[in-house]
Amino acid sequence: MVTTTPLEAELHALAGSVPDPELPVLTLAELGVLRGVEILAPGRVEVALTPTYTGCPAIEAMSADIEKVLHEHGIPDVTVRTVLAPAWTTDDISAEGRRKLAEFGIAPPRPTGPVALTLAIRCPHCGSTDTELLSRFSSTACKALRRCVSCGEPFDHFKEL
């Protein structure tokens, strides 16, 4: 069992509050990419961060934003370490993150695992499951572009990984 100090919990909350550079409606904690914060020595902190996929270009911006917020909180030595295992999956997105995606007009990913409970992609505008794929890629590699047949509105769908 890993013990977290009150300061580590505070720094974790600060790092977790950083908005995702590609989906600023979500924080890094809600996206599920922040894996941990550890105090190595007084004034020296290491943050573990997992990209949504290997080679994700946003990891550099995430790291810089975490370093900035922790520096502003008085931590002079911040190292952000990229952790690839266990790999990030869309199951790591919090319930609040999924709610925010839908509220923002992006269909959240469906649950993954042995049995997917929902096979259809629900329109974030009207709730219909009568949707069609327009493009496997949207504004980022993590999203697909879909259109609702019922209301006619296009929308992004955060793909399941």
Q: Taking the domains of the chain in order of start, what are their residue ranges?
A: 6-82, 95-158
* Mean of the per-residue pLDDT values of the chain: 91
In the chain, the percentage of residues whose pLDDT exceeds 70 is 93
Start-to-end Cα distance in the chain: 28
pLDDT at 50: 95
The model scores a pTM over 0.85: no
Strand order in the sheet with 154-158: 106-107, 154-158, 143-148, 131-135
Of 87-91, 112-116, 140-144, minimum mean pLDDT range: 112-116
Q: Per-residue pLDDT for 13 more than 90? A: yes
Q: Per-residue pLDDT for 69 more than 70? A: yes
Class of the 6-82 domain? alpha beta
Mean pLDDT of 154-160: 89
Question: At 1, is the pLDDT very low, low, confident or very high (cuts 50, 70, 90)?
Answer: very low
pLDDT at 138: 84
Question: At 137, is the pLDDT very low, low, confident or very high (cuts 50, 70, 90)?
Answer: confident
Query: Which residue in 53, 34, 159 sits closest to 108, CA to CA?
Result: 159
Mean pLDDT of 66-75: 97
The answer to whether residues 16 and 62 touch, using CB atoms and an 8 Å cutoff, is no
